[in-house]
Structure 1
Amino acid sequence: MTATAAPAVGRPAVPRWVWVLPPVAFILVAVGYPLVGIVSRTFTDKAERPAGLATWESTLTDDAVLSALGTTVQVAALSTAGCLVAGTFLALVLAFVPFPGSGGVVRLIEAVVSFPSFLIPLALGVLLGPVGVANAVLGPLGMSTGSFTSSLWGVVLAEIAFYTPFVVRPVLASLRQFPADQVNVASSLGAGPLRIVGRVILPSALPALAAAGSLTFLLTLNEFGIVLFTGAKDVITLPMLIYTRSIVGQDFASAAVLATVQLVISVGVYVLYRLLVRKGAR
């Protein structure tokens, strides 16, 4: 005969849904309440009086807002494209061109992610700024970098330098799983390096590239510190405009509208990013 297990004696089991309540309550208080406050502020005017959709209409038809939206998308798209090109090249080199110290290079690239974003424009300013090293060398030759660091392309270069590691890591992980036999077979059939990369290697890394590109676009879309520290007065993005209207102009109603628009765009890009990650994991 087999002994039957005695019924457990003690406190009754706590329902599983009870453990969900604390994190849900925290999210509602820390995230939900501020979001509701921001959205409700969009239906008031600058003096906090009810205004219906008037603030939305005046804000979204403002030429400065439309220009900032276009600049935001332009900077994010250019930065993402640059990160994809630079990150893919670095990942290919690290995965298929072994050299001493490659592991240290990977660690160095990863370390950049831990830096505050404003360090990159400061470093570029020291190197390429009006009183930087490059101007000190090129000045006597009658050449100058001018105000490159405070231009749109200066902002894009700074964002590429900071966000490229977000492309390198997932693409490198994908390439390291690529069968080396396929490269050897393509090479034995007479395919050159560029054809092997374009026809054999990169197609297998497309899900990782798509996910990395979506994440980079999301991050650059919301970047504020790099744009602020470059001092690019002509590069007004949505985060910069939100800061200017809320802190400088004290127009919190208009800033709330812009913040809501930024939030909707960011959530849409994030959903796309998650779909691409899920597709790549299949």
Structure 2
Amino acid sequence: MSSLSTPDTPNPLGTPAADVRRSASAASHAAAVKRRERAAQWHLLFIAVVVLGPLVIYPLVRLVLLSLTGPHGLSLHAYSAFFGNPETSGVIGTTLWILFASAGLASLLGVALASLLFFKPFPGARMITRFLELFVAFPSFLVAFTLIFLYGSQGSVSIGLQRLFHLQAPPLDFLFGVGGVILAEVVFYAPFVVRPTLASFATLDIRLIEAARSLGASGWMVAFKVILPLAWPGIAAGTILCFLLTLNEFGILLVLGSAHLITLPVAIYSSATVDLDLPTAAAGAVVMLIMSLSLYALYRQVNRRKVKGAGYGR
């Protein structure tokens, strides 16, 4: 037999020299990993100190400290003044009413538009999708002014209807109040729901939908029994994002809100600029910040589940 097949031939991988080389390679790799981890930690610390520190962390800390500042040092007086104000419950109620009405209608409209664009494509659907993507870059107060120019009492549509039907007064006079605010927020925030919903629809297995249709399922049954259970994480993420952005909306409220429509952002602004009561304004801002962070945490959780579901689908 050849000497290559002799059982007495030493195994090069089993020699002490090979073991030493493997140990040295493993140690070098571990040292490189530690260096990368330390570099990443230093980069994170640099970003936290240089970027997030002056722009995010310091203002938030100052806001919390200001809300805890009383006449004689640290105190909860600002929170007592905020929650003890008899108008506060009405302000929070108005805020929640506008939030659920606007964000709810915007979410329904966004899901309906996404369903139409994805499942019933028509000529120009791609252009509409691109426009909706561009629409989210517009400032919200621009939408409010556009609605005023169109549907205000002196807007082009209102004046046109007045002249067409020979009316004594403009027929449209609803923008400066709850109706105008809800309309503007629905128009502005519906596209924020369209994009996540379209992305969620894109991960669907079309064969499941076709199989359900071939078995005689109606369109509504396919929508609620097949599409919705699979696409709900993306729809939920877009809906929560819509609620989060609507909660923090200020430009539309400032343009279209009347003197009787006081929401939490407007109340905080009035406390800081009109009443010059900065601690009470800071207390309201902290309350609003907690609400926003709660919605954001829920959004992150649902979005993480959406990403995991997309990974499992592939």
Given the two structures, how large is their TM-score scaled by the length of structure 2? 0.80
Once the two structures are overlaid, the 10-residue window that deviates more, 70-79 or 190-199, is: 190-199
Structure 2 partner of 1:83 = 106
Counterpart selection for 1:226 from 252, 268, 271: 252
Counterpart Cα distance in 2 of 1:257 and 1:145: 42
Which residue does the alignment assign to 2:31? none
Cross-structure match for 2:130: 107
Corresponding residue of 1:23? 47
Which among 257, 265, 284 is matched to residue 258 of structure 1?
Answer: 284
Which whole-Å CA distance do the structure 2 matches of 1:68 and 1:196 have between them?
A: 42
Inter-partner Cα distance in structure 2 for 1:194 and 1:63: 47
Which of structures 1 and 2 has the bigger CA Rg? 2
Residue 229 of structure 1 deviates from its aligned partner by 1.3
Offset of residue 199 of structure 1 = 2.1
Partners of 1:278 and 1:138 in 2: CA distance: 49
**Kept after mapping to 1: 8 A contact 2:200/2:235:** no
Q: Secondary structure at the match of 1:127?
A: helix
Q: Which runs of 5+ in 2 are unaligned?
A: 1-11, 29-34, 309-314
**CA shift digits 1:60-114 (9 cap, x unpaired):** 1212222221222221211221121111111111111122222111101111111
Alignment of 1:28-177 (within 5 A): 28-45=53-70, 50=73, 52-140=75-163, 141=165, 142=167, 144-177=170-203
SS of residue paired to 2:175: helix
Judge conservation of contact 1:87–1:168 (CA < 8 Å) in 2. Answer: yes
**Counterpart among 220, 225, 237 of residue 263 in structure 2:** 237
Post-superposition Cα deviations, 1:155-203, rounded to whole Å, max 9, x if no partner, equal 1111111111111011111112222222222222222222222222222
Residue 214 of structure 1 deviates from its aligned partner by 0.9
Q: Residue 147 of structure 1: SS of its match in structure 2? A: coil
Contact 2:271 2:277 in 1 (8 A): yes
| In structure 2, C-alpha distance between the alignment counterparts of 1:203 and 1:144, rounded to whole Å | 47
For the 8 Å contact 2:189–2:242, the answer to whether it is kept is yes
Mean CA deviation greater in 32-41 or 138-147: 138-147
AA aligned opposite 1:176: A
Does the Cα contact within 8 Å between 2:114 and 2:197 map onto a contact in 1? yes
Q: 2:237 aligns with which of 194, 208, 211?
A: 211
Cα displacement (A) at 1:144: 4.8
Question: Residue 145 of structure 1: CA displacement?
Answer: 4.5
The two structures have a TM-score, normalised by structure 1, of: 0.89
Aligned partners of 2:195, 2:249: CA distance in 1, in Å? 20
Instruction: Give the structure 1 partner of residue 219 of structure 2.
Output: 193
CA contact (8 A) 2:158 2:171 kept: yes
- In the TM superposition, residue 146 of structure 1 has moved relative to its aligned partner by 4.4
Residue 51 of structure 1 deviates from its aligned partner by 6.7
Letter in 2 for 1:161: V
Q: Over the residues paired in the alignment, what is the CA RMSD in angstroms?
A: 2.4
Whichever residue aligns with residue 204 of structure 1, its letter is L
**Structure 1 unmatched ranges of 5 or more:** 8-12
Is contact 1:134-1:145 (8 Å) kept?
A: no
Distance 2:74 2:118 in 1: 58
* Distance of 1:176 and 1:36 partners within structure 2: 42
1:155/1:232 contact within 8 Å kept: no
Q: Counterparts of 2:154 and 2:174 in 1: how far apart (Å)?
A: 12
Higher-helix-fraction structure: 2
Identity of aligned residues (%): 36
Judge conservation of contact 1:128–1:149 (CA < 8 Å) in 2.
yes
Deviation at 1:24, TM superposition (A): 1.6
Give the Å deviation of 1:36: 1.9
Compare relative contact order (CA 8 Å, sep 6+) and give the higher one, 1 or 2.
Answer: 1
Match of 1:10 in 2: none
Maintained 8 Å contact 2:162/2:171:
no
| Contact 2:68-2:74 at 8 Å conserved across structures | yes
